Amino acid sequence: YVAPSGGHAASAGTYILYATHVAAMAPGTNLGAATPVELGGLPSLPGGEKDKDQKDATGQPAGDAMMAKVTNDAVALIRSLAEMRGRNGDWGEKAVREAASLSANAALQEHVIDFVARDTTELLQLADGRTVEVAGRKEVLATKGLPVETLEPGWFIRLLAVITDPNTAVILMLVGVYGIVFEFTSPGAVAPGVIGTICLVLGLYALNLLPINYTGLALMLLGVAFLIVEAFNPTVVLGLGGVAAFLLGSAMLLKVEGPGFAMSWAVIGPAAALTLGLALLTGTYVWAARKNPPRVGGEAMRGLPVEILDWQGGEGHVLALG
């Protein structure tokens, strides 16, 4: 059941709809656009830049051959589902090859779905009495008046949904990097290192599940590295370059733009500003520390009054600061 209004069964959802025993849609929904596309993977897979220069045994571009292979397999799958459920196989093939889409009423006219239902109550009424085949046997559905139970996702699923948000993933990565940097600069603090490591691993886990552009990720990490170097060796150039690299990497990070796959500039902007601010603040303290006289070591003893214990020629022993 494709619902509520405004929802859609696009891409993989079209295959799922074709596989169901009873398919219904709410008014204002749509389905289709089931052409296979690459969300992630190596550049040599369909859609990668390297495909343009590679040829297969027939002389065709390797990417085209691979894409045709994947598309034909998807067509065979959706046709087999259409035959099994008595749906329109020709339109299913069109949805795969041409990325065609249909509204709810059009899908009903094309015999892609069984009926249009405004809500769950109407869905159960219209599905009542239909005969479906389950495990090789004919079964008559008795759905009218059944109670509806809503299953909410548990806390762990909700936590994963938050972690795998692109904006949360970037924040986790930044917290992780700075936590580890702070631990290295102040050994023994422990907490920054532990928190930073956990956040970094969670951030990498989230990015692994997202269709990311590795060039964008590399630019972001390069920008953070430049800002860290700027903090300990102020040059201004590294700081500005780090901010530019971070912002460009953030804009390029995701391969796919759309609901659930969008970076918020309300997150990226403050993160870049905070990173630059921390770098400048740290750099200010480091620069001020360089101007202070040495406090430890041999350099700190220059100019001190001492008590000569013994001396002969150009060397001997003296007592200074105990």
Domain ranges of the chain: 8-140, 155-291
Please state the rounded mean pLDDT for residues 61-81. Answer: 84
Cα distances (angstroms) measured from residue 272 to each of 75, 220, 269: 46, 10, 5
Q: First CA to last CA across the chain, in angstroms?
A: 85
Q: How many Å apart are CA 281 and CA 203, to the nearest integer?
A: 26
- Note the pLDDT tens digit of each residue in 91-127: 999 999 999 999 999 999 999 999 999 999 999 999 9
- This prediction has a pTM of 0.55
Parallel/antiparallel/unpaired status of strands 30-32 and 101-103: antiparallel
Q: Which CA distances in Å does 240 have to 143, 170, 267?
A: 64, 20, 19
pLDDT at 26 (0 to 100): 95
pLDDT band at 200 (very low <50, low <70, confident <90, very high): confident
For position 88, what pLDDT does the model report?
Answer: 94
pLDDT digits (tens, 9 = 90+) for 183-194: 877 777 788 889
- Radius of gyration of the chain, Cα coordinates, nearest whole angstrom: 32
**With contact defined as beta carbons under 8 Å apart, do 184 and 143 qualify?**
no
φ/ψ of 318, rounded to 5, equals -130, 160
- Please say whether the beta carbons of 92 and 79 come within 8 A: yes
Amino acid at 232: F
Please report the pLDDT score of residue 72 as a whole number. 92
**227-279 pLDDT per residue, tens:** 777 767 767 677 778 778 877 887 787 765 555 566 777 777 787 777 777 77
Helices then strands, counting H and E runs in the chain, come out as: 11, 9
Angle at 314 between CA 313 and CA 316, to 5 degrees: 90
When pLDDT is cut at 50, 70 and 90, the band that residue 48 belongs to is: very low
Q: What's domain 8-140's superfamily in CATH?
A: 2-enoyl-CoA Hydratase; Chain A, domain 1 (3.90.226.10)
**Which of 301, 300, 297 minimizes the C-alpha distance to 318?**
301
Q: How far is CA 6 from the centre of its chain?
A: 24
Question: What band does 172 get if pLDDT is binned at 50, 70 and 90?
Answer: confident
Mean pLDDT comparison of 36-50, 51-65, 106-120, highest-scoring range? 106-120
Bridge-based pairing state of the strands 30-32 and 8-10: parallel
300 DSSP 8-state letter: G
CA distance 144 to 126: 8
**C-alpha to C-alpha distance for 79 and 64, rounded to whole angstroms:** 22
pLDDT at 31: 93
Asked whether the bond before 27 is cis by omega within 30 degrees of 0, the reply is: no
- What pLDDT, on the 0 to 100 scale, is given for residue 39? 54
Q: How sure is the predictor about 13, in pLDDT bands with cuts at 50, 70 and 90?
A: very high
pLDDT reported for residue 141: 93
- Candidate from 58-62, 278-282, 302-306 with smallest mean pLDDT: 58-62
Among 16-20, 161-165, 248-252, the range of highest mean pLDDT: 16-20
User: In this structure, what token pair is assigned to residue 68?
Assistant: 């045709």
> Lowest-confidence range among 48-57, 144-153, 245-254, 296-305?
48-57
Token pair belonging to 28 = 């204002």
For 200, phi and psi rounded to 5 degrees? -65, -45
The whole-number pLDDT of residue 236 equals 67
Give, for 115, the enclosing helix (H) or strand (E). strand 115-116
**153 SS3 class:** coil
